[in-house]
Amino acid sequence: MRNFISEDDIEQAILSKLKEEPLKYDILICDPSPDKRDVLPDGTGRNSKKECVLPDVMLSSLKRVNPTIGEDKIKEIVKTLRQDYTGTDIVDTNYKLYRQIRNNIKITVRRNGKEDFDFVKLIDFEHPKNNTFTAVSQMWIQGKVYYRRPDILIFVNGMPLVFIELKNSIVKVEEAYNKNLKDYMRDIPNLFAFNQICVLSNGLETKLGAFNATYDYFFEWLKIDSEKEKLDREAILAADNVKDSSVRYFIDGLLNKDRLIDYIENFILFENQRIKIIAKNHQYLGVNNLMESVENRKELNGKLGVFWHTQGSGKSYSMVMFARKVKRKIAGNFSFLVITDREDLDTQIHKNFVRTEVIGSKEECQPKDSKQLRDFLTTNKAFIFTLIHKFRYDKTKKYPVLSTRDDIIVLVDEAHRTQYKDLAENMRTALPNANFVAFTGTPLLGTKRLTNQWFGDYVSEYNFAQSVEDGSTVPLFYSRRVPEVGLENDFLDDDVVDIIEEENLNEDETRLLENASSRIIEVIKRDDRLDKVAQDIAYHFPRRGFLGKGMVVSVDKYTAVKMYDKVQHYWAIEKQNIMKDRNTASTKEEREQLTRILAYMNKVEMAVIISEENDEEAKFAKQGLKISEHRAKMKEITPDGRDIEDRFKDPNDSLQLVFVCAMWLTGFDVKNLSTLYLDKPMKGHTLMQAIARANRVYPGKPAGIIVDYVNVFKYMKKALTEYATGDDGTEFPAKDIDQLISYIDGTIDEADSFLLSLDIDLKKIVADSNTLDKLDALRSAYDTIVAKDGDKEKFKVILNTLTNLYEASKPEIFEKNWSNDKFAPLVYLHGLFYHTIDDEKVARARQKMSQILDGSVTARQDFVNYVSEEPTQYMIKGTKAIDLSKVDVEQLRKEIKVAKYKAIEINDLKEYIEQALEKMLNRNCTRTKFSERFKRIIDSYNAGGTENEDYYEQLVKLLEELRQEDNRANTEGLTEEELEIYDLLIAGKKLTQGEEQKVKLSAKNLYKKLVDNRSSLLVVDWYKDEQPRAKLKYEVELSLNDDLPESYDKAAFDSKVSLLMNHFVDMAVQGYGWIGAA
């Protein structure tokens, strides 16, 4: 059992550490009591609980940071920054505010009687300690529906830049993401307008990420000053106090004032202005190491070093962060020459710089040939992207010196793959005083350490194993499949493997291959062997659990085409076999499983990806193969402008499996790719590059699977020893699939001990010989788990981990005869949670509930048909339109008194109310008081303050009131849309009956005007543009001015116009209600 550290212990320890030397933050502790959530002042200086900045701190800080700017100008900016951003597109707002934080705000001033401009800094990046750092705990924030209270917010100059959410140490960090961060994003989006870092911690584990990233992209921060620091992860996870926990590393490593300011200034990117990328621990340390090399470039003689970060760990973004920081922070007029050896890599890196706005899309920086490259290098262009091959020159002449500048930095990507000798010497002759750095995932090692000879020592190392430990990449598992036909363990001759790695062989290489190792190639390419491999791929690929993309790697181009043909052949046979098996399937579950596999197989598309060469049609024809159709497919552009690369990178595209021999094995990122079928001898850096295709992080992908058909794993072990040793010096990140299966056993043990803490004994349930008793015990267990939201969420996280691991191990887990007695009951509980199990008694309990709510649930016709065939399946899930007027409230009260599975029925009622509230709130935003009351009822019960019967009665009473509210539009003689406008107009006003009638008329007329003029007022994206927004506002003002009673003075009138406009914008941005449907 984990040591217990409470949420409060963690919070107090963080605040205490931030208050002390050397950090010296200002600390503000707000009153966390729910009855103080509306109370102002609360020490924050805010005028409204909707505000998320500290206005007084902001004003005093900006005055100090901008001593030459007049106070009136500063006050204007503070007023603008204090606005409520709730009704905006928060991702867009966050991007715009970050640009203002980083680049300052341009203002108009008058100097000497003339108009001039100046800039207001929001942060003093040159003098970090000149900024005000404030840690605020338990600050109540009012949202659209609920009030929320983040644990700790870190403000810099009054702006909330860091969000910290805490859990006690026995709660998984993922729960802080699923339950808290996502709720805050929904309920108080205003808080995230300024946010730069989100931190989730249970003390033992601390994860950081961008506010709009999925949980898979959150990362640890465990190294403080140097990447060489040794980590004892086991000790961190076993900590029994905060000072030994992961929190300490995060605070010391990132909340140091200088570091936090450096991070905000230089380590945050936006791709295409939407995808926020914040640097991971290894990127931050690595780029800053490289910055030191630039500072010391004279002493290093221009050899800045080798930046070795494994594939998939964000190396190309590190390159962007480095170039951007040099341009901003080091004096001089630096130029960057980015060198690759493949056109697709050149394009990809150039795109990264464009998408992150380091260079403009129209900037001419990719020379079309050698001559233009030489011309570019004689200028002072800031960025040039080129292939090493463009340094070719007449061999009878000496390459000219093109620039003697010493402020050129040459970034060479994957330096080891380049044939250096002549081309690299030409480059160095052209730029004798340039500085060189190599970015690589797999440097050449041992006797071939050319990388270091050319570039100097390693400036940063972050290898394969470290990236898996940190979660920057997913773990890899390998599976040996299909007995080889005539292959032995030591069949791979090093020279042969070196040659096979090349896609286009010259005559000498072909002859060597034929003479020295004809037996090897003959064996690998033997038809009966290829048939076995193809048959296995056709069986394995559709039976995997996580159905990511796949890649088959063959020994040469001809074999790749042949393998495609053979897999297609066996694919068709496999489909026939599945249909036969389905016809004779003994259970419904088995039949459904086979139907799912068949449906997947029917939609899968495959393609061959190989490089083009002269006379290829004739060459392939000699082998009895046709290349023309494959080549046409490789060059095809879809009607929406996507090429085959785009299609394979798109997880939803039907192109799922590709056949390659060398193309796409290096520098080609497909995050969704999860399975690599290796049927080609490989070793060293090429093998590492290839298997890394499957290591990218992607939602729902627990691991990458490498299927080995040629026993390359003796080479893999060697490669991993060189490239991938973990911090402890022992562990390989690519493990046998048996270890993946052992993780399943570990997760089952975790589930078992969690259930024991709730007095549910799985061992006892499994030991019961009577199946009916077992099922009864599992139903009772389920009833116990769902009683409290906290227990339910914890158990869901464990169950999801279990199912993800189990899915990742398919189909191998079936072939290994694995079994664990506790797995089946856990799967049963999973089925009850997600309504995928036909449990008659639980369904009957649900059915009673849904029959009482029955009149209120109108199901889709196909759902009704399904229910009539399978009555026990009917439950209040599915696609439904809720009509509260038909709910029988008295019957609900009677039902709970006799219910056997009370918690299950209460849980279903709770879900029903949640859905009803969501629909009612979407129709009328003023109904937040019902949501708040619902939340208070739930919170009180979860905290142990209410018994089941009281809890149920409170829910039923709330339901009664919701029924009345749902019918109020009819009572008032208004439509739902008119009622919402009416409610917004009367909020906070005391009116006579006559005035109320006038406001109703006002609401009716305004709604009619907006609907009648929808096409001219609510144009596409109207809320993004000042002009159409102003036009709509003008029409709202005209309408209200005609109809509202005299008791609405100027201030009240302006306030109501502003309230309506904010709400209309919110509906448009969030895509709900009658405006969202526009």
554 in Cβ contact with 541 (< 8 Å): no
Q: Which long-range contacts (CB under 8 A, 24 or more apart) does 767-775 make?
A: 774/825, 775/828, 775/839, 775/841
DSSP string of 867-891, one letter each residue: HHH-GGG--S-SSEEE-GGG--HHH
pLDDT at 429: 92
- CA 458 remoteness from chain centre: 30
Is 674's pLDDT higher than 90? yes
SS3 149: coil
231 in Cβ contact with 727 (< 8 Å): yes
- DSSP label of 596: H
- DSSP label of 177: I
CA–CA distance, 51 with 35 (Å, rounded to integer): 19
pLDDT at 470: 82
CA–CA distance, 259 with 156 (Å, rounded to integer): 13
Closest C-alpha among 331, 325, 353, 342 to residue 386: 342
Res. 494 pLDDT band, cuts 50 70 90: low
Distant-in-sequence, close-in-space partners of 351: CB < 8 Å, separation ≥ 6? none
Please name the CATH architecture into which domain 7-53+84-102+123-268 falls: Alpha-Beta Complex (3.90)
More confident residue, 839 or 956: 956
Distant-in-sequence, close-in-space partners of 1071: CB < 8 Å, separation ≥ 6? none
More confident residue, 405 or 235: 405
Q: What is the pLDDT of residues 376-426, one digit of tens each?
A: 999 999 999 999 989 999 888 999 999 999 999 999 987 555 445 667 889
Count CB neighbours of 427 within 10 A. Answer: 25
3-state helix, strand, coil in the chain (%, to 5): 55, 15, 35
- Region 344-348 average pLDDT: 84
Is 497's pLDDT higher than 70? no
Res. 875 pLDDT band, cuts 50 70 90: very low
384 bridge partner residues: 337
Q: Quote the tokens at residue 792.
A: 């339910």
| Residue 299, amino acid | E
CATH number of this structure's domain 525-731: 3.40.50.300
pLDDT at 1075: 86
pLDDT at 901: 81
Q: What is the pLDDT of residues 514-531, one digit of tens each?
A: 444 445 666 778 888 899
Q: Compute the residue count for the chain.
A: 1078
pTM (predicted TM-score)? 0.77
Is 856's pLDDT higher than 50? no
pLDDT at 893: 78
Res. 873 pLDDT band, cuts 50 70 90: very low
More confident residue, 298 or 915: 298
Q: Quote the tokens at residue 476.
A: 């890899």
**Homologous superfamily, domain 280-462:** P-loop containing nucleotide triphosphate hydrolases (3.40.50.300)
More confident residue, 252 or 521: 252
DSSP string of 86-133, one letter each residue: TTS-HHHHHHHHHHHHHH-EEEEEEETTEEEEEEE-SS-SSSGGGS-E
H or E segment and range at residue 609 = strand 605-609
- DSSP label of 2: P
Is 491's pLDDT higher than 50? no
Specify the pairing of strand 549-554 against strand 605-609.
Answer: unpaired
Count CB neighbours of 616 within 10 A. Answer: 16
Res. 79 pLDDT band, cuts 50 70 90: very high
Torsion angle, CA of 530/535/539/540, rounded to 10 degrees?
-10
More confident residue, 717 or 834: 834
User: For a pLDDT cut of 70, what percent of the chain falls above it?
Assistant: 87
- Region 768-776 average pLDDT: 76
Q: In the chain, what's the furthest Cα-to-Cα distance?
A: 103
Count CB neighbours of 931 within 10 A. Answer: 19
Is 462's pLDDT higher than 60? yes
Q: Per CATH, which fold does 971-1076 belong to?
A: Enzyme I; Chain A, domain 2 (1.10.274)
DSSP string of 613-641, one letter each residue: -TTHHHHHHHTT---HHHHHHHH---TTS
Res. 865 pLDDT band, cuts 50 70 90: very low
CA–CA distance, 629 with 617 (Å, rounded to integer): 10
Q: What is the 3-state secondary structure (H, E, C) of 311-367?
A: CCCCHHHHHHHHHHHHHHHCCCCCEEEEEECCHHHHHHHHHHHHHCCCCCCCCCCCC
CA–CA distance, 199 with 181 (Å, rounded to integer): 10
| Residue 224, amino acid | I
Alpha carbons within 13 angstroms on the beta-carbon side of residue 758 total 21
Distant-in-sequence, close-in-space partners of 250: CB < 8 Å, separation ≥ 6? 199, 201, 206, 208, 221
Closest C-alpha among 354, 273, 344, 271 to residue 314: 271
pLDDT at 516: 45
CA–CA distance, 186 with 171 (Å, rounded to integer): 22
Strands laid side by side in the 655-660 sheet: 605-609, 655-660, 549-554, 673-679, 704-708, 476-480, 734-736
195 in Cβ contact with 163 (< 8 Å): yes
Which parts of 121-208 fold into alpha helices (H)?
Answer: 173-175, 182-187
SS3 9: helix
Residue corresponding to tokens 């709970």: 896
Is 868's pLDDT higher than 70? no
pLDDT at 267: 98
667 in Cβ contact with 696 (< 8 Å): no
CA–CA distance, 98 with 265 (Å, rounded to integer): 9
Q: Where in the chain are the domains?
A: 7-53+84-102+123-268, 280-462, 525-731, 741-833, 840-966, 971-1076
Q: Quote the tokens at residue 215.
A: 């949980």
Q: Quote the tokens at residue 613.
A: 């060469």
Q: Is the peptide bond before 811 cis (omega within 30 degrees of 0)?
A: yes
First-residue to last-residue Cα distance in the chain: 54
Q: Quote the tokens at residue 131.
A: 């900024």
309 in Cβ contact with 319 (< 8 Å): no
Count CB neighbours of 833 within 10 A. Answer: 17
Domain 280-462 and domain 525-731 have a common topology: yes
Count CB neighbours of 17 within 10 A. Answer: 18
Distant-in-sequence, close-in-space partners of 547: CB < 8 Å, separation ≥ 6? 600, 656
Distant-in-sequence, close-in-space partners of 99: CB < 8 Å, separation ≥ 6? none
| Residue 1064, amino acid | F
How far, in Å, are 166, 1043, 1066 from residue 180 at the CA level?
Answer: 9, 43, 22
Angle of helix 823-833 versus helix 737-757 axis, rounded to 10: 70
- Region 622-635 average pLDDT: 94
Which parts of 505-615 fold into alpha helices (H)?
Answer: 507-525, 527-540, 557-583, 588-603
Least confident of 593-607, 843-857, 929-943: 843-857
Q: C-alpha angle 544/545/546, rounded to 5°? A: 100
- Region 352-374 average pLDDT: 94
CA–CA distance, 623 with 610 (Å, rounded to integer): 16
Least confident of 101-115, 253-267, 576-590, 1014-1028: 1014-1028
SS3 642: coil
CA–CA distance, 918 with 333 (Å, rounded to integer): 56
926 in Cβ contact with 864 (< 8 Å): no
* E strand spans, 422-464: 435-440, 458-462
Angle of helix 1026-1043 versus helix 993-1012 axis, rounded to 10: 140
